[in-house]
């Protein structure tokens, strides 16, 4: 099926001129420095806003499995790195990484796992509509703050597949205590942890693991100075207590971002785990 590029697309899924959430508005082809991988910037609809993100697709037989990468940070901090999604696409997946609302020319304003969580929810709908992507649930990898986004999707979206939490925040109240440098931002965007405690709890997966409906893989470096490994252990303990399916791989001595060789080794483990969950799900459908 030919894939349109550098164009505004028909407003499919619209009613009365209002485009439905998850509708693809524009696909722009970008220069890719990764051999065998095509790169696009997509614009799609989330709560009536135009939101943007990168799509990396291996130049192979179509369709391929889809995956959503949930970036960490906020605004310019932690913005999606092309090299990161190229590494994932090389493993045979069409990888979409939303920038979240208000970034890179997108509309709205991100709020650290509040309303902007819908940008991931509707990215699942978007991915399931793309001609490059196989049908079925869409796995997610959430890095750092992106873990909240991925697990919120696992809690709230039927189309979410297995979730990988990598160096992930699982308790935002703990993050407030651990990261003095983030307190001003958190109070401005989320609220005061005592006065708006419920806003922190809504963004803390350890508070609602009972509602997570998919398998979870936890990846964390034991020397992570940005998100303590105790957050990984806390999430694992909560999942264990709730009787949820999960696995945890801790990488001794590694920090928040892994060196290249260790990163590739961890990615091999992550994609092996995702493939095993996909195969099991496909086996149940037969």
| Per-residue CA distances from 145 to 3, 77, 203, 240 (Å) | 32, 11, 10, 22
**Three-state SS annotation for the chain:** CCCCCCEECCCCCCECCECCCCCEEEEEEECCCCCCEEEEEEEEEECCEEEEEEEEEECCCCCECEEEEECCCECCECCCCHHHHHHHHCCCCEEEEECCCCCCCCCCCCCCCCHHHHHHHHHHHHHHHCCCECCCCEEEEEECCHHHHHHHHHHHCCCEEEEEEECCCCCHHHHHHHCHHHHHHHHHHCCCCCCCHHHHHHCCHHHCHHHCCCCEEEEEECCCCCCCHHHHHHHHHHHHHCCCCEEEEEECCCCCCCCHHHHHHHHHHHHHHHHHHHHHHHHHHC
| Per-residue CA distances from 113 to 42, 53, 57, 130 (Å) | 21, 17, 27, 25
Q: Is residue 46 pLDDT above 80, yes or no?
A: yes
Q: Is residue 238 pLDDT above 80, yes or no?
A: yes
The share of the chain scoring above pLDDT 70, in percent, equals: 93
Residue 61: its pLDDT value, please? 79
pLDDT greater at residue 168 or residue 16: 168
Q: Is residue 79 pLDDT above 80, yes or no?
A: yes
Residue carrying structure tokens 């963004």: 203
Does the global pTM surpass 0.95?
A: no
Residue 245: its pLDDT value, please? 97
On average, the pLDDT of the chain sits at: 92
Q: State pLDDT tens for residues 248-271.
A: 999 999 999 999 999 999 999 999
Q: Is residue 142 pLDDT above 50, yes or no?
A: yes
Q: Which residues are catalytic?
A: 144, 256
Q: Give the lowest-confidence range in 12-16, 96-100, 103-107, 111-115.
A: 12-16
Q: State pLDDT tens for residues 109-119.
A: 998 888 999 99
């Amino acid at each position: 099926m030919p894939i349109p590029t550098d164009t505004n697309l028909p407003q499919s899924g619209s009613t009365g001129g209002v485009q439905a959430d998850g509708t693809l508005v524009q696909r722009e082809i970008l220069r890719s420095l990764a051999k065998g991988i095509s790169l696009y910037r997509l614009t799609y609809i989330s709560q009536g806003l135009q939101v943007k993100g990168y799509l990396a697709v291996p130049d192979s037989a179509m369709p391929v499995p889809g995956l959503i990468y949930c970036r960490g940070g906020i605004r310019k901090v932690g913005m999606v790195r092309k090299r990161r999604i190229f590494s994932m696409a090389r493993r045979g997946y069409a990888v979409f990484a939303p920038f979240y609302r208000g970034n890179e020319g997108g509309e709205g304003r991100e709020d650290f796992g509040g309303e902007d969580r819908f940008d991931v929810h509707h990215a699942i709908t978007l991915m399931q509509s793309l001609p490059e992507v196989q049908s079925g649930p869409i796995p997610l990898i959430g890095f750092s703050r992106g873990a909240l986004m991925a697990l919120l999707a696992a809690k709230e979206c039927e189309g979410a597949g297995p979730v990988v939490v990598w160096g992930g925040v699982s308790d935002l109240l703990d993050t407030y205590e651990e990261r003095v440098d983030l307190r001003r931002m958190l109070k401005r965007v989320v609220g005061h942890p005592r006065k708006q405690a419920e806003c922190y709890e809504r963004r803390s997966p350890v508070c609602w693991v009972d509602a997570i409906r998919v398998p979870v893989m936890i990846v964390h470096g034991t020397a992570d100075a940005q998100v303590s490994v105790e957050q990984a252990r806390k999430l694992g303990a909560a999942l264990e207590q709730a009787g949820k399916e999960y696995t945890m791989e801790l990488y001794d001595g590694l920090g928040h971002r892994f060196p290249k060789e260790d990163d590739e080794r961890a990615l091999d483990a992550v994609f092996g785990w995702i493939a095993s969950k996909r195969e099991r799900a496909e086996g149940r459908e037969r």
